[in-house]
Amino acid sequence: MSAIADNIKVIDQRIRVAAERAGRDRSDIVLISVSKAILPGDVEAALAAGQPIFGESKVQEAKAKIPVVSSRARWHLIGHLQTNKARDAVALFEVIHSVDSLKLADELNKWSERAGKTQAILLEANVSGEASKFGLKPEDLESTLKAINQLPRLEVRGLMTVAPYTKEAAEARPYFRRLRELRDALGLRDLSMGMSHDFEVAIEEGATLVRIGTAIFGERKRREPSE
């Protein structure tokens, strides 16, 4: 077995155990293998190991990678999206996790209309309030959701957040809990939260989509700027 297949097996087991601990169904949690900065060959290895969904953080990189990976792969955008890349994003991604303004939503709606597609999205929330983070302020979520719900080509599935990096995973728990409370208040379904070092805590707090890169593919050559 390849190292990647081994890692996926271990992660799958850890997801299962975390779900059990929280009294949740394993089938309610979707693993997204974060393939940013990862070469197509390693993506194929993850696909061969039964892992169909990949997360990319940059449209440019995904645009080059997606056509050379088996069409069985499904792609989610997890990184910040600029309005001028909305058209490409609609063409490439099944789910866009990082919608953080009405202006961007309008643009995605326009390109989805032209593509004859309904685009699934998540609203990114900045629950820590860190200036370095993207995302809507929690207090702006409700009005933004209301406005986006008027856009016929977008389907808002839930909320996404990037918790602050904490030494101990458990220290991220309040941020995950806050996102869940916001999701519940808005009546949405999905919670995209939890990364390699803290996904088990995120699952205990209700994550339905966990975004895991390093623990599957190993350390990336160049660290992404923290987002």
Residues that bind ligand PLP (CB under 6 A): 34, 36, 57, 78-79, 162, 195-196, 211-215, 224, 227
Identity of the residue, 38 or 66, whose beta carbon is nearer to ligand PLP in the bound complex:
38
For 67-166, where are the alpha helices, taking DSSP H only? Answer: 86-92, 102-115, 141-148
Shortest Cβ distance from residue 226 to ligand PLP (Å)?
Answer: 8
Identity of the residue, 50 or 218, whose beta carbon is nearer to ligand PLP in the bound complex:
218
Identity of the residue, 86 or 162, whose beta carbon is nearer to ligand PLP in the bound complex:
162
Shortest Cβ distance from residue 210 to ligand PLP (Å)?
Answer: 9
For the chain, where are the alpha helices, taking DSSP H only? Answer: 3-21, 40-48, 59-65, 86-92, 102-115, 141-148, 173-186, 199-204, 214-217
In total, the chain counts a number of residues equal to 227
Shortest Cβ distance from residue 52 to ligand PLP (Å)?
Answer: 17
Q: Is the dihedral of CA 90, 92, 97, 101 positive or negative?
A: negative
The torsion angles phi and psi of 214, rounded to 5 degrees, stand at -50, -40
Element (H, E) at 74: strand 74-77
Shortest Cβ distance from residue 19 to ligand PLP (Å)?
Answer: 18
Shortest Cβ distance from residue 187 to ligand PLP (Å)?
Answer: 24
Identity of the residue, 66 or 134, whose beta carbon is nearer to ligand PLP in the bound complex:
134
Identity of the residue, 153 or 211, whose beta carbon is nearer to ligand PLP in the bound complex:
211
